[in-house]
């Protein structure tokens, strides 16, 4: 059986953008053990870490910084459906995204702002503003790499439910 560090490295490679809690849960290892091995792997440049929207995400070093951000957002259900919609239908207005995806405008606005700040989407200067993928081909390729975890999907759904109460 492979040692814990090998298991951690393999899990990061197989689930790019995995965040700390999920890695620890998936591998069923203690928090301290996960921290220790990740710290060593990052120090040895066998794993890359990037803090994105409040969470530490871990990656195989083959991915660049833009891919780190894209993969992290693709692990979040709401950001993922926005990116899927933009991939499938091309540039669109935020209001249309909110209506088509049955999301509160504030939810779409928050996600689009984070995605734009990270360089995943671009906002047009014209009015009404349109949103488009910054790197459509690479985003399409990364869509196949990841999907949101159950806890991420539940958290996103809870936020959307709360937002709908205030609309």
- Domains and their CATH numbers in the chain: 4-63 (1.10.10.10), 69-166 (1.10.10.10)
Write down the pLDDT at residue 76: 83
Largest CA distance in the chain: 59
Q: Where are the beta strands (DSSP E) in 109-149?
A: 121-123, 131-133
Contacts of 88 (CB under 8 A, 6+ apart): none
Q: Sorting pLDDT into bands at 50, 70 and 90, what band is 126?
A: confident
55-59, strands of its sheet edge to edge: 18-19, 55-59, 48-52
pLDDT digits (tens, 9 = 90+) for 64-118: 999 999 998 888 888 999 999 999 999 999 999 999 999 999 999 999 999 999 9
């Amino acid at each position: 059986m492979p040692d814990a560090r090998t298991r951690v490295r393999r899990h990061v490679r197989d689930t790019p953008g995995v965040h700390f809690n999920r890695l620890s849960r998936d591998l069923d290892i203690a928090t301290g053990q996960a921290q220790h091995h990740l710290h060593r792997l990052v120090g040895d440049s066998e794993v890359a870490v990037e803090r994105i929207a409040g969470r530490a995400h871990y990656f195989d070093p083959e991915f660049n910084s833009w891919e780190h951000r894209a993969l992290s957002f693709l692990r979040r259900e709401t950001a993922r459906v926005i990116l899927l919609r933009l991939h499938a239908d091309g540039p669109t207005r935020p209001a249309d995204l909110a209506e088509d995806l049955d999301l509160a405008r504030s939810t779409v606005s928050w996600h689009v702002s984070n995605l734009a700040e990270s360089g995943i989407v671009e906002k047009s200067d014209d009015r009404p503003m349109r949103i488009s993928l910054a790197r459509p081909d690479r985003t399409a390729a990364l869509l196949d790499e990841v999907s949101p975890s159950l806890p991420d999907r539940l958290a996103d759904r809870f936020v959307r439910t709360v937002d709908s109460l205030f609309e």
